[in-house]
Each structure stands twice: as C-alpha cells, then as structure tokens.
Amino acid sequence: MHKALLLAFFLLQPVFLRAQEPLPRTRLYGSAGLGFVNLEDRGIGIDVPLGFVLLVDRYRLIGAANIVDLALLQKQEDRDPRYFRDPYTTVCFDAQTRFPVSDLRCAGSTDALLSLGADLSYVPVETSFFGGKPGKLGLGLGWRLQHPRTIYGTVGLFFDAPGGGGGGFRVALGRDYVFFGVNWALRARRLLGGR
C-alpha cells in the first residue's frame, strides 16, 4: 500500500505542477509616455508617445506602436543674437549692456514635431527585479517613420500589474535619435469600458 501511494505521487506530480503554471496570455494595452528625446538635427526636448503595447507571453514578445509621438524641442536658430549665455554660470546676458537678463531672452521658440513608429522586443529575461518589482526585460528593434526616419535599437523593462495596468521605462538609440522615458499602460478593454 505504501509503495502504491508513493508510485501514485510520482506519477501525478507532473499533472499537479502543470496545473499550477499560469497559461500563456496575450494582453493589449493603451499606453502613454513621457521622456527626453535628442534629435541630432533638431535638438533636445520632451517627447510624449501615445499608442499601444501588446504582450505575447507564449512567444516572449513585446510589441509597441506609437500612433502619435509628439516631440517638443527648443529651436536654436531663431534666437536673438543680442543675448548670450555665459558658459561658466549659464546666466543669460545682454551683449550691449552686459547686464544679466531673463533666461527667456536666450531661449528659442518651441518646435513641435509629430512622428509615429513601432518596435518589437524579445524578452530574454522573463522576470527581472527592479526596485523590488518583477518586470519583463525586453531587447528589440524599431522603426521611426519621420523626424528622423530611422531604425533604432531598444531596451526596456515592462511591469505588468495584476490590476489591469502596467508601465515601465525604455531607452531607444538610432541614427540621429535618442530617447529615454517612462510609460504607463492600461488594458485596452478597461479603456473601452470593460472590466
């Protein structure tokens, strides 16, 4: 009897273990982000990407599509040459009077650029802890369609929250393009009014 119970335990153990493993899921999120962007030909500024994130656990993939990618950059070429910034103190001066003036005098106007793009990342590390939270480390490639049009590499962490949300951060590097930022995500069915 003892041997029969032991044999049944070893035969049924894989069935119990398989029942405890979570099933692979596919989840679609609406996402919004905020970050810093450096466009080689345009300058440095703030970037606000809006779009979708798709997690496919079965194939360990994270796909992202930025439908609207708004970059707000400071123009340098339309700055008034009468005003200059002291390189040692970063104070703005009037070239004629040599008195300090408002920093706004040394700043150019804002240039707003719209773009869109998409990237696909493979998840080599399914659970990577950052700040005590488990996240998915993704490495991938993407394509930005304009301002500048380029292929870029991306690395980032995505944290899938149990309440239907998520978020993370990522770095993207391409020719004439650098982005570092954070994103927040909400399940698409929650965005559309479902639970």
State residue 1's pLDDT score: 55
Per cent of the chain over pLDDT 90 is: 54
pLDDT digits (tens, 9 = 90+) for 23-80: 568 899 999 999 999 988 788 899 999 999 999 999 999 999 999 999 999 876 667 8
pTM (predicted TM-score): 0.74
DSSP state of 100: B
Q: Of 26-40, 81-95, 109-123, where does mean pLDDT reach its minimum?
A: 81-95
DSSP state of 104: G
Which residue ranges make up each domain of the chain?
A: 23-75+111-191
Instruction: Report the distance separating Cα 73 and Cα 114, nearest Å.
Output: 11
Instruction: Please list, residue by residue across 150-167, b when 16 or more beta carbons sit within 10 angstroms of its beta carbon and e when fewer do.
Output: bebebebbbbbeeebebb
CATH architecture, domain defined by 23-75+111-191: Beta Barrel (2.40)
Query: Residue 16 pLDDT more than 60?
Result: no
Q: What tokens does 179 get?
A: 């982005």
Residue for token digits 């999120």? 29
